[in-house]
């Protein structure tokens, strides 16, 4: 019977472990590695974001679309209901932030609660995006939170869950001005002409590298590689010079090398990842990554692994393995790719002396090297959804909190604490982000590559119903490829499985 | 899980030592050298197993005692020492609250499992009612249904009762156990008929007989079942993790997860939290280990 006991517990642990396997610090960010705001730089900021697309006069919140879906009813979001409330209205907010991104949201919520008396926000961190999603999906509408944060790949599933109020209702009911927003961040959470969620924490992948190793290899740490070809050349130089054992550490995690980065690389190449304009004009029916672009991309990466230029760290369930390879005492890599939102965590860990021999200043941040050689980025991170049927007052209260979170001032503070990208241009002229972006350009990299991205369907990223599951099968194929499997076979198989998932999803929704 | 390993390992060692003793006896007089070699081999093997089992425990404890900037340097050498990490893990991980929750749930589960097992085991062994055999088979069959198979349904039920984030939600699915029923039935089956007859002649009904005669006799088995129930409840991870959406109601094993997330850059905090969570159960195992093994094997021979 002891054995049964042990087996049961083991099975439990295994299941639990597999459930949490895609929890990722990649989505986390961290607390203020910020430099002290220097008074001299304060005035310099308003002109610094001239790369922004000017807020067009007819800027709307609605993504361009061919769909004829009627606009959602503003009556769904009674933004004035708060005025009739007696006593403070509680808003329960589930989020998947962790580490010091959790500290960041706690800070903002505390500031908000202290700033007014009508609404009291109660945070319930669920630990990761995955467990937020799982718990939300499994829970009845009444037990769901009033406000929930979902990552960018959850748009279609959330829409189909019929459980949220499209944020467009609130925007229209309140006459909320979104003209200062980066339009791409809004579009990422719009489908078939309806704005479903309010973007809040926007991140994208950047290149982390060891500046000392670059110098040792005779490379300019202020000019990190921008194209995949350069990435290979830099890696070669690093390995040849002995500055490090490997050029780059790569992984096959779903929210990194096995899924998210692929979507980013496809966008960078100007290629669609899924049909129907990445699922933006009509529900996608199939993925397109098994074509020549995908094969070329993954063959290139596979070759880097086989030539000893890249080190494959595996599925990277913790999201830390690729970073730790840079700190490897015996056979380190000089570069890795990770979300900009991990910047705070990485800097914090280094400031705390966790990694012997590497300091905060040794870390360089560069744009994500991509097929085109011109940095671009899809909107990553997460957005806020207002849960339906929780009462007018609660809905209004949730909306009020959202407007606080996406205010220019909040976004400025949030970006500096975490490494996330401000979603609105006017945040850049406000402290603390104004001086941080000037004094520590590493924080700007993610922002710059996002605003540098052209406005075309490929650069809005895919919206798939079962996007999370598609990433899982794709990541398995990538793992197979990095371990030496045949590229075309792996991608074809993965695409077939992904397409079956999509067909199933579309049939049921 | 982690905590049960040292206990099991000790059991293995005990067994093996017994075997070593009895196996060694005949050869001891004549061939002392081969016996010495054999013994040395056995101890080497046991030492190796002990090392493998205890190594993670050792690294965990070492890491939990080192300040943050020393954790990754010489991770096997305890070259720095601080108790601050434990204090920080205790407060930051809210372990006091989680341990209280674990304790409440484990006590409720233990009491209910023992009560239901004793009564159902008694019924299956001592009462003659139609369909008893079939019903018992059905009971046993539930042992074959893994927890994971019923998770979703159970969670929906708890949700529809409005019991998410509550003690009753944490405990409800585990109030009865087919294993406990089976265990006590086997013990009751071996119960001397004379005792039952004597009690009946003295006018005792089932309740009185169970309480005053049967229960005292099977107390070791009940004790083992109680400890076993307590351990499995304390070590639960998946279920509490699934039905708590508010951290106030988390149990300690599941709550450690949130410590992991809140301290990504401080591995030593998580290690300290793990040690703290393991201490109560480790102590319980050390104290009751013999009783646990003896009690669980009690019905084995007879049944």
pLDDT tens string B285-299: 887 777 777 666 655
Q: Does B139 touch chain A (CB under 8 A)?
A: no
What's the confidence (pLDDT) of residue A51? 39
**Mean pLDDT within B194-217:** 86
**Mean pLDDT within A217-240:** 94
Report the share of chain A in percent with pLDDT over 90: 51
Q: What is the distance in angstroms between the Cα of B205 and the nearest Cα belonging to chain A?
A: 33
Helices A487-508 and A292-306 pack at an angle, to 10 degrees, of: 130
What's the confidence (pLDDT) of residue B299? 52
Whether B264 maps to a domain, the answer reads no
* Residue ranges covered by each domain of chain A: 39-203+380-459, 205-376+466-508
B163 with B133, same domain: the answer is yes
- Decide if A102 and B261 are in contact by the 8 Å CB cutoff: yes
- Decide if B296 and A4 are in contact by the 8 Å CB cutoff: no
- Decide if B237 and A12 are in contact by the 8 Å CB cutoff: yes
Tokens of residue A376, six digits: 């671009």
Whether B18 maps to a domain, the answer reads yes
What's the confidence (pLDDT) of residue A383? 94
Residue A364, SS3 per DSSP: strand
- What average pLDDT does the structure give for chain A? 83
Chain A residue numbers touching B181 (CB-CB < 8 A)? none
* Structural domain span for residue B289: 91-254+279-302
Phi first, then psi: give them for residue A386, nearest 5 degrees. Answer: -90, 125
- Decide if B265 and A349 are in contact by the 8 Å CB cutoff: yes
Position A7 pLDDT exceeds 50: no
The nearest alpha carbon in chain B to A145 belongs to: B245
Per-residue confidence band for A145, with pLDDT thresholds at 50, 70 and 90: very high
A205-376+466-508 is classed CATH 3.40.50.1110: no
**Mean pLDDT within B3-27:** 44
Tokens of residue A493, six digits: 């198989």
- Decide if B147 and A98 are in contact by the 8 Å CB cutoff: no
Per-residue pLDDT reduced to its tens digit, A164-218: 999 999 999 999 999 999 888 898 898 878 899 999 999 999 999 999 999 999 9
Please choose, from the candidates B173, B149, B150, the residue with its C-alpha nearest in 3D space to the C-alpha of residue B161: B173
Q: Does B179 touch chain A (CB under 8 A)?
A: yes
- Decide if A25 and B266 are in contact by the 8 Å CB cutoff: no
Position B204 pLDDT exceeds 70: yes
Q: Do domains A39-203+380-459 and A205-376+466-508 have the same CATH topology?
A: yes
CATH label of the domain that carries residue B207: 1.10.3720.10
Whether B274 maps to a domain, the answer reads no
Position B89 pLDDT exceeds 80: yes
Chain B residue numbers touching A19 (CB-CB < 8 A)? 238
Q: Does B15 touch chain A (CB under 8 A)?
A: no
The nearest alpha carbon in chain B to A328 belongs to: B72
Whether B44 maps to a domain, the answer reads yes
Per-residue pLDDT reduced to its tens digit, A267-283: 999 899 999 888 888 88
A488: exposed, middle or buried (C-beta count within 10 Å: 0-12, 13-18, 19+)? middle
A411: exposed, middle or buried (C-beta count within 10 Å: 0-12, 13-18, 19+)? buried
B115 with B247, same domain: the answer is yes
Chain A residue numbers touching B183 (CB-CB < 8 A)? 1
Q: How many domains does chain B have?
A: 2
B48 with B108, same domain: the answer is no
Tokens of residue A107, six digits: 């800070």
Per-residue pLDDT reduced to its tens digit, A481-509: 999 999 999 999 999 999 999 999 999 87
Q: Measure CB to CB from residue B1 to each of A9, A135, A352 and give the nearest one.
A: A9
- B141 or A39: which carries more pLDDT confidence? B141
Q: Is the N-terminal amide bond of A432 cis, ω within 30° of 0? A: yes
Q: Measure CB to CB from residue B146 to each of A5, A11, A348 and give the nearest one.
A: A11
Q: Which of B89, B113, B138 is the last residue of a domain?
A: B89
Position A24 pLDDT exceeds 80: no
CA A233 and chain centroid, separation: 28
> What's the residue count for chain A?
509
Q: Measure CB to CB from residue B69 to each of A128, A135, A352 and give the nearest one.
A: A352
What's the confidence (pLDDT) of residue B206? 87
- A277 or A311: which carries more pLDDT confidence? A311
Tokens of residue B279, six digits: 């201490």
B166 with B202, same domain: the answer is yes
Per-residue confidence band for A9, with pLDDT thresholds at 50, 70 and 90: very low
Per-residue confidence band for A30, with pLDDT thresholds at 50, 70 and 90: very low
**Angstrom distances, CA of residue A289 to CA of A255, A333, B48, B119:** 17, 28, 49, 61
Q: Which of B62, B89, B116 is the last residue of a domain?
A: B89
What's the confidence (pLDDT) of residue B296? 62
Per-residue pLDDT reduced to its tens digit, B180-197: 999 999 999 888 888 888
What's the confidence (pLDDT) of residue B53? 93
B95 with B224, same domain: the answer is yes
B46 with B141, same domain: the answer is no
The answer to whether the CB of A293 falls within 8 A of the CB of A488 is no
Q: Does B183 touch chain A (CB under 8 A)?
A: yes
What's the confidence (pLDDT) of residue B194? 84
B54 with B171, same domain: the answer is no
Q: Does B84 touch chain A (CB under 8 A)?
A: no
- A426 or B29: which carries more pLDDT confidence? A426
Across the A:B interface, residue pairs with CB atoms under 8 Å apart total 110
Chain B residue numbers touching A21 (CB-CB < 8 A)? none
Q: Model ipTM?
A: 0.72
What's the confidence (pLDDT) of residue A313? 93
What's the confidence (pLDDT) of residue B34? 79
Q: Measure CB to CB from residue A139 to each of B73, B159, B179 and give the nearest one.
A: B159
Chain B residue numbers touching A15 (CB-CB < 8 A)? 148, 238
Please choose, from the candidates A157, A156, A155, the residue with its C-alpha nearest in 3D space to the C-alpha of residue A137: A157
- Decide if A143 and B245 are in contact by the 8 Å CB cutoff: yes
What's the confidence (pLDDT) of residue A385? 96
Q: Does B53 touch chain A (CB under 8 A)?
A: no
- A23 or B268: which carries more pLDDT confidence? B268
Whether B260 maps to a domain, the answer reads no
What's the confidence (pLDDT) of residue B195? 83
Please choose, from the candidates A251, A174, A240, A263, the residue with its C-alpha nearest in 3D space to the C-alpha of residue A208: A251
**Mean pLDDT within A54-63:** 39
Whether B9 maps to a domain, the answer reads yes
Q: Residue A216: which residues within 8 A CB-CB, separation 6 or more? A: A241, A242, A243
> What's the residue count for chain B?
303
The answer to whether the CB of A41 falls within 8 A of the CB of A358 is no
Tokens of residue A126, six digits: 């669920």
Chain A residue numbers touching B162 (CB-CB < 8 A)? 143
Instruction: Enter the DSSP assignment of B91.
Output: H
Count CA within 13 A, CB hemisphere, residue B54.
10
Long-range contacts of B129-136 (CB under 8 A, 24+ apart): B136/B185
B107 with B63, same domain: the answer is no
Q: Measure CB to CB from residue B72 to each of A2, A125, A354 and give the nearest one.
A: A354
Q: Measure CB to CB from residue B1 to each of A13, A20, A28 and give the nearest one.
A: A13
B79 with B191, same domain: the answer is no
Q: Measure CB to CB from residue B245 to each of A5, A135, A345 and give the nearest one.
A: A135
- Which of A354, A356, A358, A360 is the best mutation test for B, with the most CBs of B within 10 A? A354
Q: Does B264 touch chain A (CB under 8 A)?
A: yes
Which of A15-24, B121-130, B201-210 shows the lowest mean pLDDT across its residues?
A15-24
Residue A213, SS3 per DSSP: helix
- Decide if A353 and B8 are in contact by the 8 Å CB cutoff: no
B80 with B41, same domain: the answer is yes
**Mean pLDDT within A131-145:** 91
Per-residue pLDDT reduced to its tens digit, A32-48: 333 333 333 333 333 33
Position A443 pLDDT exceeds 50: yes
- What average pLDDT does the structure give for chain B? 82
Q: Which of B28, B59, B89 is the last residue of a domain?
A: B89
A39-203+380-459 is classed CATH 3.50.50.60: no
Q: Does B159 touch chain A (CB under 8 A)?
A: yes
- Decide if A8 and B147 are in contact by the 8 Å CB cutoff: yes
Per-residue confidence band for B137, with pLDDT thresholds at 50, 70 and 90: very high
Report the share of chain A in percent with pLDDT over 70: 86
Chain A residue numbers touching B293 (CB-CB < 8 A)? 2
The nearest alpha carbon in chain A to B1 belongs to: A9
Whether B273 maps to a domain, the answer reads no
Q: Which residue has the tokens 């990435």?
A: A231
Whether B272 maps to a domain, the answer reads no
């Amino acid at each position: 019977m002891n054995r049964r006991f042990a087996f049961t517990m083991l099975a439990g642990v295994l299941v639990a472990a597999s459930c949490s396997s895609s929890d990722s610090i990649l989505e986390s960010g961290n607390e203020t590695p910020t430099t002290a705001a220097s008074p001299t730089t304060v005035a310099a900021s308003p002109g610094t974001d001239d790369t922004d697309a000017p807020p067009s006069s007819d800027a709307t919140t609605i993504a361009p679309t061919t769909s004829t879906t009627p606009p959602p009813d503003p009556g769904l979001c009674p933004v004035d209901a708060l005025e009739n409330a007696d006593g403070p209205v509680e808003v329960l907010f589930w989020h998947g932030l962790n580490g010091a991104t959790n500290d960041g949201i706690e800070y903002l919520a505390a500031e908000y609660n202290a700033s007014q008396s009508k609404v009291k926000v109660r945070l319930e961190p669920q630990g990761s995006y995955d467990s937020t999603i799982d718990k939300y999906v499994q829970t009845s509408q009444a037990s769901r939170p009033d406000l929930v944060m979902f990552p960018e790949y959850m748009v279609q599933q959330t829409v189909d869950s019929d459980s949220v109020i499209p944020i467009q209702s609130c925007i229209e009911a309140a006459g909320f001005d979104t003209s200062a927003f980066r339009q791409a961040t809004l579009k990422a959470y719009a489908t078939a002409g309806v704005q479903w969620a309010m973007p809040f924490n926007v991140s994208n992948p950047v290149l982390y590298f060891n500046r000392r190793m670059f110098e040792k290899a005779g490379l300019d740490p202020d000019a990190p590689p921008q194209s995949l070809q350069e990435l290979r050349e830099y890696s070669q130089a690093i390995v040849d010079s002995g500055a490090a054992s490997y050029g780059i550490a790569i992984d096959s995690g779903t929210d990194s090398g096995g899924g998210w980065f692929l979507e980013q690389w496809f966008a960078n190449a100007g290629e669609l990842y899924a049909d129907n304009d990445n699922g933006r004009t009509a529900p996608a029916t199939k993925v397109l990554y098994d074509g020549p672009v995908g094969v070329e991309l993954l063959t290139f990466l596979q070759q880097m692994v086989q030539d000893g230029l890249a080190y494959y760290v595996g599925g990277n369930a913790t999201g830390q393995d690729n970073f730790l390879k840079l700190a490897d005492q015996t056979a380190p890599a000089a570069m890795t790719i990770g979300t900009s939102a991990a910047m705070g965590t990485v800097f914090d860990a280094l400031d705390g002396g966790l990694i012997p021999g590497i300091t905060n200043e040794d870390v360089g941040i560069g744009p994500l090297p991509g097929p085109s050689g011109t940095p671009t980025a899809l909107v990553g991170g997460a957005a806020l959804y207002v849960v339906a049927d929780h009462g007018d007052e609660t809905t209004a209260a949730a909306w009020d909190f959202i407007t606080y979170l996406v205010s220019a001032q909040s976004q400025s503070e949030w970006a500096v604490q975490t490494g996330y990208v401000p979603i609105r241009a006017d945040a850049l002229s406000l402290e603390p982000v104004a001086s941080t972006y000037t004094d520590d350009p590493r924080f700007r990299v993610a922002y710059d590559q996002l605003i540098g991205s052209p406005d075309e369907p490929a650069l809005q990223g895919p919206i798939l119903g079962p996007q999370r599951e598609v990433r899982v099968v794709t990541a398995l194929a990538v793992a197979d490829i990095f371990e030496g499997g045949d590229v075309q076979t792996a991608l074809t198989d993965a695409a077939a499985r992904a397409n079956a998932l999509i067909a199933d999803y579309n049939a049921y929704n | 899980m982690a905590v049960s390993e040292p206990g099991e390992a000790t059991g293995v060692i005990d067994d093996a030592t017994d075997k070593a003793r009895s196996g060694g006896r005949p050869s001891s007089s004549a061939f002392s050298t081969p016996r010495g070699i054999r013994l040395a081999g056995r101890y080497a093997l046991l030492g190796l197993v002990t090392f493998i089992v205890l190594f993670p425990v050792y690294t965990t404890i070492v890491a939990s005692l080192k300040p943050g900037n020393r954790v990754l340097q010489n991770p096997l050498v305890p070259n720095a020492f601080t108790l601050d990490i434990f204090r920080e893990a205790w407060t930051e991980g809210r372990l006091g609250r989680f341990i209280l929750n674990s304790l409440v749930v484990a006590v409720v589960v233990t009491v209910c499992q023992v009560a239901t097992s004793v009564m159902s085991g008694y019924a299956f062994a001592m009462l003659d009612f139609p369909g008893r055999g079939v019903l018992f088979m059905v009971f046993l069959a539930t042992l074959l249904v893994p927890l994971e198979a019923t998770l979703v349904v159970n969670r929906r039920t708890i949700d529809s009762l409005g019991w998410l984030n509550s003690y009753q939600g944490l405990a409800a699915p585990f109030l009865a156990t087919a294993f406990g029923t089976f265990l006590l039935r086997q013990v009751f089956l071996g119960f001397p008929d004379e005792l039952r007859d004597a009690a009946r002649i003295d006018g005792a009904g089932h309740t009185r007989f169970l309480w005053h005669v049967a229960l005292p006799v099977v107390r070791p088995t009940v004790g083992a079942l109680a400890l076993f129930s307590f351990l499995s409840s304390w070590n639960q991870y998946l279920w509490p993790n699934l039905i708590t959406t508010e951290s106030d109601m988390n149990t300690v094993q599941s709550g450690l997860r949130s410590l992991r997330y809140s301290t990504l850059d401080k591995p030593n905090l998580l290690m300290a939290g793990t040690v703290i969570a393991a201490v109560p159960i480790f102590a319980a195992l050390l104290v009751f280990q013999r009783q646990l093994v003896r009690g669980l094997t009690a019905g084995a021979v007879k049944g």
